[in-house]
A = this chain, B = another copy of it.
Amino acid sequence: MKSEKVTNEDAAAFRRRYDDACAAAHALDLVGERWALLVMRELMTGPKRFSDLRAGLPGISANVLTQRLEGLEAVGVVERRTLPPPASTRVYALTPWGLEAEPIFQALGRWAVRSPLHDPTAPFSTASFVLSLRTMFAATRAAGRSGRVGFRVGRESYLAVIGPDGLDLQPAEDLATADVVLTGEARSLAAAIYGGQPWAELERAGAVTITGDRGVADWLATLFPLPPKVEAG
């Protein structure tokens, strides 16, 4: 019934657009709907299935996720893929242009992390954690030293390569080349990296497992400083 009356997808995607030539306003036409940017955030670290997206987006309902994926696909930000057999699963991925939206998340995150109302105890998806590391890395703190840190969060794993060119943090199946591998929930890893909680404490609590060079883990926890909070309103 809906598809009978709508002549093209653009009309559906732009039901309520801003009438504004400003490119930032256009960005909000494209990805300003509720949940749209968070769907993109989940896809920034790689293709995901429908249910993986739901898992990383606490509170989204299935129909809204469907609508957002359709809308993002219509404007060229997301594409559907079907994995080759034997998986044959349908996944959603960002297009190359969608991938270029990462600076938007960095700007939003850097700004909002100063908010006095920010609640860091809420659910924290793996994609958020990975993006936050890429956002908050302070190259000046690394001071020429280099290292390789593996992360295992849930079923996903990532490798962070810190060197003279900064931080390169990407999904990686093989963490054998890492100096140290940190295993745990995103929230626990964040507690050490952002909250200053000692690794040993998290290990005792069973929240984190460290394999390899603990010195590198301690060093890592000094590389992601948070800016000071704004005075509460």
Contact = CB atoms under 8 A, between A and B. Distances in A.
Interface string A218-233: 0000000000001011
Nearest to A127: B22
Contacts of A109: 22-24, 27
A100 interface: yes
Contacts of A24: 37-38, 41, 105, 108-109, 112, 128, 131
B34 A32 contact: yes
A38 B27 contact: no
Residues of A in contact with B, size category: 35 or more
B41 A22 contact: yes
A106 interface: yes
Contact of A18 (B32, B59, B110, B233): B59
Number of identical monomers bound together in the oligomeric complex: 2
Given A32-B34, A37-B28, A76 B23 contact: no
Contact of A74 (B22, B59, B233): B233
From A19, A23, A232, name the one whose CB has the most chain B CB atoms within 10 angstroms.
A23
Interface in A88-116: 97, 100-101, 103-116
A187 B41 CA distance: 33
A58 B18 CA distance: 8
A26 B75 contact: no
A102 to B, nearest CB: 9
Contacts of A124: 20-22
Interface string A58-73: 1100000000000000
B103 A20 contact: no
A119 interface: yes
A128 B27 contact: no
9 contacts: A16-B34, A20-B123, A24-B37, A25-B38, A25-B41, A26-B113, A103-B111, A104-B111, A107-B107
